[in-house]
Structure 1
Amino acid sequence: MESMEKKQEGLNNFSSLKLDKWLVNQCKNLGLNRPTPIQRNCIPPILQGQDCIGCAKTGSGKTAAFVLPILQKLSEDPYGIYCLVLSPTRELAYQVADQFRVLGKPVGLKDCVVVGGMDMITQATELSKQPHVVVATPGRLADHLNSASTFSLKKIKYLVLDEADRLLEGNFGPDLEVIFDALSKKRQTLLFSATITQTLEQLRTIAMKEPFFYSCSSEAEIATVDTLDQRYVLMPKQVKDAYLLFILQEYMAEHEDPSILIFTSTCKSCHSVAIMLRKMNLPCAALHSLVNQRTRLSSLARFKSNQVNILIATDVASRGLDIPAVQLIINHNIPGSPTDYIHRVGRTARAGRGGMAISLVTQFDVQLVHAIEERIKTKLVEYPVEENEVMRILNEVSVAKREAELKLEEIDFGEKRKINRHKQLIREGKDPEEEEARKRKEWKEKKKMRKSKKGEASMKTS
């Protein structure tokens, strides 16, 4: 019996995964004593040279599952740009680079983060120095490949797609084509994600050479963790922000130094809610794609260090970000996809801790909630709110919301979005004016069809 226990104990440490002693020691120094299931299953085949697709819930240690074997192989034969990691968001790219930096410190790892919002010339200089690991968002890396010849990706040993489902199913297609054309065909490809999708299943059988495939067995049954308390509040759309403020005030009064993450649907909504909450004397930070990168990193750092208790964000914060202290997630809007919901609420109740997610549901969101419940195999429970108490602050919230909207008009917030959209179209090789004209034409045709349908319906009624 004792020998069986010792054997089991042996399987539950990093040494059993054939990792070098210096990496095992580095893990211990960082408090990583036992490998998680995805690390235990994926590290050996990666070390053996296999392509790999790994799927596990958020907070399961996916990043270390590819960082550790890559560092071991890099230490054996270090040269030039050895590994390329692609990430769907800038914040996640910095987080992945941090893990490489910390775990790879004993071997003098050189890394480079290539994301939008930062100086391209500085990035080009860093790339020309041939860092061992490049962590990038597809758009900015494609820009460098199209505009410079000071570096090459032809000799990379590893290509990693982090949050692969979002990269492969999002609007990254043209940029990924540019990047894949620049890569060596003789490489290991590693795909990691929190959700299994049809695209990943297709890659498993078509696009990769006999990959090792690992998925947590419970993933298909329940997509969220048991320690997450999932709630909803049903309300008219017009008073949503009053309900939001009431829930925040009540929660902050009951919890000392809370950590709250609010998800919104758009950059404009995110910025507006942040301004409104500040006017209601609730210090907060905003994180979305129309804020410059230094401000985005600053907002995230202030939230992680508890300088502010509230972070309002779009879905740029829903994927992969490790913010261990988050106690409460509030969905200011119900996401259109259950997968997006799963990623959002996965920012809390991590690593066995508890957490709560509250979704603000209007009469237009009921079907979306039903789809989410079906996917997660869990019924959302109603969160009790005193409607009379909400009505007492409604006028004050309405004034603050109107002031926030005026502030957005003052800073030409919509103009920033238009400029960014034009830049994206130019990168894709499209004419912004032609695209705008095409969209206006489509909108007019849809409007005409809606009028036609209304006319037919009224004639049937009469």
Structure 2
Amino acid sequence: MRIENVNLNDNIQRALDEMGFEEGTQIQKEAIPVILEGKDIIGQSNTGTGKTAAFGIPILEKIDIDIRFPQALVLLPTRELAVQVANEFRKIGKYMDGVKTVTVYGGADIRDQIKKLKAGAQIIVGTPGRVIDLIDRRVIKLGELKITVLDEADEMLKMGFREDIELILSKVDHTTQTLLFSATIPKDMTKLIKKFQNNPVNISVLREGITAKEVKQSYFLVKHSDKIEALTRIIETYTPKLTLVFCNTKRAVDELYDTLTVKGYNCDKIHGDIKQSQRIDTLNRFNNGLVDILIATDVAARGLDIKEVEAVINFEVPIKEDYYVHRIGRTGRAGREGSSFTLASAKEIKKIENIEKYTKKSIRKRSVPTVDKVNEVKQDKFIRGIVDVIEKGDLGENRELAVKLIEKGYDIETLIAAMIKKLVKFDKSDDRDLNDLIPERRKSLRKGQRNLGRTVRFHVSVGKNQGIRPGDILGAVAGECNIPGTDIGEIEVLKNYSFFNVAEEHRDRIVNGMQGSQIKGKDVIVELSKEKKSKKSREKYYDNDKKNNRKKQFRKK
């Protein structure tokens, strides 16, 4: 990477060369020199513009490897983003001996994180709640801190982390450089800027259209139970050479891979639980055309070398708008035209609308191809293939076999029909119309209200007396479980307990994701609610439940 008037450390330059960086992006060209000068910045840029490297490179330039205490702190809204950003730091700092980056976030064993921090780390990347907890435990010490980064700042505010961010920044008792990166600058953020930044330089690199012009985007409205049938019809109709299919979870990837394999499709899969060596082998096979369909989680959309994909299919609508941008960005590259197809159930239509607002582009609604259409495409493809073979000639021994078949006494039409039946599989088993007719716009809803469909109710073991607000619960659950805040419904905070409703599809994710978690640095128990009573009855029920547990413990003693 070459940036005007900037001479990068040889070790950083070496790593960037290996990563394939040739010329800096606009945000990198404008931000890196300013950050190296020690100035605060407000960086506005879209996802995928290289902003991680825009602050990662100058931070690594400023690190003193002889000091084993935190010199840079990067705050992000979710653990996935924290892991991603930390990995970018490690790649850029690959040849900088003595520089250590540690990732901290809730939902993981805090003892392991404490052990890594005590071993010495100059760069900490984490979520606000876990950072506060580690500061309170005196594990993260801020005496040597030089730079604080608020990445995806608008997302952190949406998820209710404003007070946590203010608390962290207020614990730094000396002047530091503060870098803020955000796609938008809401009112709450201007207060943070005025309070914690010193004459920041504004750098805005926003594009009108976030998604590639070369990508034809469309979606299909189908019932969730019909998605696999719809997916196979789309693949058979549009017959892309290389297809990348995205799911939101590892489990969904595994299940879809098993189903498509049984159906005879040449596919493979990658996600976080698959070993790195195996993932690289799978990607090489896909890039070389040995695999037609690659099924993946969002790990494949960020930073992996996937080339010449003709179509991206979102089997599930991504949980965040920027994930959608990264997904479809795998096709339509280098001026080539690509296609993206998204399968959306009625419950996911709101997400489609949010993506359209985010990308400032409409997504065309299309109809799922009928079985007759699929079979028509197969026929045309088969005929073209036969004609192509005839025109190329060189049939050789095949003519001799043809003569032997004719000698059996069957007419030519019967012989050809039998060969077609042997070679081509036409499907009439499921000729239903898969297009869902559920209304796409729920006009009966109040402005801003989200129709969650079927919901489940959770109980949280902290409330007003522990300083908890609805935004704290929203931020913690959305961040720890990686689900959109719009899928969390009513949040009720009582004296010592709280409740929240959430779309039923996220039930298991919350049960698992919130185990051993914290909200505002406090250990919490999040479990399915036992009772659905009035506010007073619920408070009394859980208070009595707590007292009974204490009595049981006393009797044991």
Provide the rounded CA distance (Å) in 1 between the counterparts of 2:313 and 2:173.
Answer: 43
SS at match of 2:23: coil
One of 210, 220, 232 as aligned partner of 1:223? 210
Equivalent residue number for residue 326 of structure 2: 346
Residue-by-residue CA offset, 1:254-312 (whole Å, 9 max, x unaligned): 324x433234xxx6xx735642542342766586xxxxxxxx45478855653695445
Q: 1:52 aligns with which of 41, 50, 65?
A: 41
More helix by share: 1
Matching of residue 247 in structure 1 with residue 340 in structure 2: no
Amino acid at match of 2:363: L
Any idea what SS the aligned residue of 1:356 has?
strand
Measure the CA separation in 1 of the matches of 2:343 and 2:511.
29
- Structure 1 residues 414 and 440, CA, compared in 2 at 3 Å: closer, same or farther? farther
Give unmatched runs, 5+ long, in structure 2.
287-292, 375-426, 435-505, 538-557
Deviations 1:170-189 (A, max 9, x none): 14456545644544442112
Query: Residues 104 and 238 of structure 1: is their aligned pair in 2 closer, same or farther, counting only changes over 3 Å?
Result: closer
Counterpart of 2:341 in structure 1 is 358
**In structure 2, which of residues 304, 309, 330 is the aligned counterpart of residue 323 of structure 1?**
304
The amino acid across from 1:381 in the alignment is: R
- Give me the whole-angstrom Cα distance separating, in 2, the residues matched to 1:229 and 1:345: 13
Map residues 99-248 of structure 1 onto 2, 5 A cutoff: 99-108=88-97, 109-116=99-106, 118-146=108-136, 148-173=137-162, 176=165, 179-193=168-182, 195-198=183-186, 199-200=188-189, 203-204=192-193, 207-217=196-206, 219=207, 221-235=208-222, 239-248=226-235
1:110 CA drift (Å) = 2.0
Q: Is the 8 A contact 1:239 1:394 kept in 2?
A: no
Q: Is the 8 A contact 2:41 2:202 kept in 1?
A: yes
- Given the superposition, is the C-alpha separation of residues 163 and 393 from structure 1 closer, same or farther in structure 2, using an over 3 Å criterion? farther
| Rg larger for | 2
Which stretch of structure 1 is more off in the superposition, 431-440 or 236-245? 431-440
Q: Distance in 2 between matches of 1:123 and 1:248?
A: 44
Please give the alpha-carbon distance, in whole angstroms, between the structure 2 residues aligned to 1:71 and 1:430.
34
Query: Would the alpha carbon gap of residues 434 and 66 (structure 1) be closer, same or farther in structure 2, given more than 3 Å must change?
Result: closer
| More moved, 354-363 vs 133-142 | 354-363
Which whole-Å deviations, capped at 9, do the CAs of 1:303-341 have from their partners, x for residues lacking one? 56536954454xx769x93334274443445579xxx33
Deviation at 1:373, TM superposition (A): 3.8
Opposite residue 157 of structure 1, the aligned amino acid is K
Does structure 1 retain, via aligned residues, the 8 Å contact 2:106–2:517?
Answer: no
Aligned to 2:282: 306
SS of corresponding position for 1:275: helix
The more displaced of 300-309 and 60-69 is 300-309
Q: Percent identity?
A: 26
- Is the contact between residue 232 and residue 381 of structure 1 (CA under 8 Å) also seen in structure 2? yes
SS in 2 for 1:45: helix
Q: Quick check: 1:87–1:93 contact (8 Å CA) kept in 2?
A: yes
How many residue pairs match? The answer is 393
Paired letter, 1:230: Q
Q: Distance in 2 between matches of 1:70 and 1:82?
A: 9
Q: Secondary structure of the equivalent of 1:50? A: coil
Indicate conservation of the 8 Å contact 2:211/2:329, yes or no.
no
Paired residues of 2:73 and 2:148 also in contact (CA < 8 A): yes
Separation in 2 of the partners of 1:440 and 1:255?
A: 56
1:92 aligns to 2:185 (yes or no): no
SS in 1 for 2:102: strand
Alpha-carbon distance in structure 2 between the residues aligned to 1:137 and 1:79: 21
SS of residue matched to 2:304:
coil
Stretch moving more, 97-106 or 128-137? 97-106
Q: Deviations over 1:191-239 (max 9, x none)?
A: 224x32425556455552221222225x2x2232323321122445653
Change (3 A) 1:393 1:352: same
Instruction: Report the equivalent of 2:510.
Output: 417
1:368-415: CA deviation from partner (whole Å, max 9, x where unpaired): 64564455343323556422268956599x9xxxxxxxxxxxxxx956
Q: Which sits farther off after the overlay, 153-162 or 39-48?
A: 153-162
Alpha-carbon separation, structure 2, partners of 1:85 and 1:357: 33
One of 65, 68, 72 as aligned partner of 1:83 = 72
Moved more, 387-396 or 222-231: 387-396
| Partner residue in 2 for 1:61 | 50
CA distance in 2, matches of 1:365, 1:150: 42
CA distance in 1, matches of 2:58, 2:42: 14
Q: TM-score, with normalisation over the residues of structure 1?
A: 0.68
Closer, same or farther: CA 392–58 of 1 in aligned 2, 3 Å: farther
Does the CA contact (< 8 Å) of 1:160 and 1:189 recur in 2? Answer: yes
Deviates most, 359-368 or 121-130 = 359-368
Letter in 1 for 2:32: I
Q: Which residue does 2:244 correspond to in 1?
A: 259
| Distance in 1 of aligned mates of 2:144 and 2:158 | 27
